[in-house]
Structure 1
Amino acid sequence: MNVLIAGAGTLGAQVAQVLAASGNAVTLVDPDEARLDALRGRFDVRLVSGDGSEAAVLDRAGAAHAELVVAATGRDEDNLVISLLAKRRFAAPRVVARVNDDENTWLFDQRWGVDSAVPAAAPIVSLIEEATGAADTVALLRLSSAGVGLIETAITAESKAAGRPLGDITLPEGTLVATVVRQGEPTAPSPGLLLRPGDELLLVSHSAGEQEIHTAFQ
């Protein structure tokens, strides 16, 4: 699936990493060159510099071929414009937008090209669920319809996994770590990555539940 994400902040970067890990072709757009440079090489996504609320930038990023557009900037006005352009100008089949200010929720509907609106306070899992709601080809994120679940767990100073490399953790069968969020930034889940207190892990599993994941890390 071709995915275009506008906004390379913490949320946009996390969603990009998870969707890229499931084999999707992901393009991440942001006007902040430094932010893009910090993400370069971390995971397999195409990075495009520019303001996603401009039609020319979305065109250059491949919006005309995107099957899913995610507006994940920190500004509601930008997310609305991105959504409207994606749906009306580029005919994106599915558009998901982040709502930063709850008072603006009423605006985020199909009049602005939004298929699904997700409050900023919602966890990353909620945004991914909304984003992949019509994406049957997403291998890792088929969620409950295919018995696949997304589970989050946090490493604390008391966690038995703290200070240990990720590769030393015995995961339940059919489970993998999709991303590790450290200090608000997504980190590639390599076997040698030492887990630290404060790390947040997003795992994908078709068999394990929250208790089994808790047992593995806590």
Structure 2
Amino acid sequence: MKVIIAGAGSVGRSIARELSSKSHSITLIDKETQAMRVASVPDVDWLLGDACDPQALAEAGIDDCDVIVAATGDDKANLVTSMLSKLVYGVPRVIARINNPRNEWLFDENWGVDVPVSTPRIMTSLVEEAVSEGNLVRMARFHRSGTSLYQTHLTDSAPVVGMSIGEVILPPGAVLTTIVRDGNPLNAERDLTLEGGDQILLLVSEEAEPDLDLIGQLMGADLTGEDSSTED
């Protein structure tokens, strides 16, 4: 897979290092001379250039690029790079870093972004997940489909405890996908009985989100974390 990473800061270099270790073809591009720390990730191609410049993107090989990651510390630059990559060059997968959560609303298909990644939101979700017993928390939103991943930990008094998964009737558009019990993920088989302490993972379509209160009641959970999800 050919990947271009715009932004050779610590985030871009870390991504490049990880992907290159898996034998992907990686090009790191940055407009700042001091960012050219070639020795830090020697197994990738480095390019001094502005990823907001179509000529620089062409030089980086965007014409046959599979994925571009806009990972600079500047949201405006990430948006411009995403738009050029998707709308001009038709890159199949565009991933963009969001530095300021206030800018999240911009990072969508209108700007060519397939997968927006907000580090502050990820950290918030992880904190909420750690203290979420009795709460229904949105952990991720899959941007293209509008479907969201929710999770909760069942209390002993949750209405579904003692029921088999096949007996749990969820609203249309909501699917119980996985149970995590004692640290082990379990397939949501119809005859699996739910227990107190189980971590429940549910996929909820955009159309089913008005029924979140009902889903929470079934799981014995209050709705929280509505604005604390990661985006995919």
Letter in structure 1 aligned against 2:118? P
In the other structure, the counterpart of 2:5 is 5
1:4 partner amino acid: I
Query: What residue is the counterpart of 2:30 in the other structure?
Result: 30
Alignment check: 8 A CA contact 1:40 1:47 kept: no
Which residue type is aligned with residue 22 of structure 1?
A: K
TM-score after normalising by structure 1: 0.54
Q: What is the CA RMSD across the aligned residues, in angstroms?
A: 1.8
Larger fraction in strand: 2
Alpha carbons of structure 1 residues 41 and 11: separation in structure 2 relative to 1, 3 Å? closer
2:207 paired residue number: none
Q: CA-to-partner distance for each residue in 1:34-76, whole Å, 9 max, x for gaps?
A: 221x233633100000111111111111111110000000000
- Structure 2 unaligned regions, length at least 5: 127-139, 141-232
Larger radius of gyration: 2
Does the CA-based 8 Å contact 1:20-1:43 persist in structure 2? no
Unaligned 5+ segments in structure 1 are 131-218
AA aligned opposite 1:49 = L
Counterpart in 2 of 1:103? 102
TM-score, scaled to structure 2? 0.51
Distance in 2 between the 1:61 and 1:3 partners? 10
Which residue is 1:113 aligned to? Answer: 112
> Does structure 1 conserve the Cα–Cα contact (< 8 Å) formed by 2:6 and 2:69?
yes
CA–CA separation in structure 2 for the residues paired with 1:61 and 1:8 = 14
Aligned to 2:71: 72
The SS at the match of 1:74 is coil
> Which amino acid is the alignment partner of residue 21 of structure 1?
S
Moved over 4 A (4+): none
| Residue correspondences, number | 124
Aligned residues with identical type, % of pairs:
39
Amino acid at match of 1:74: G
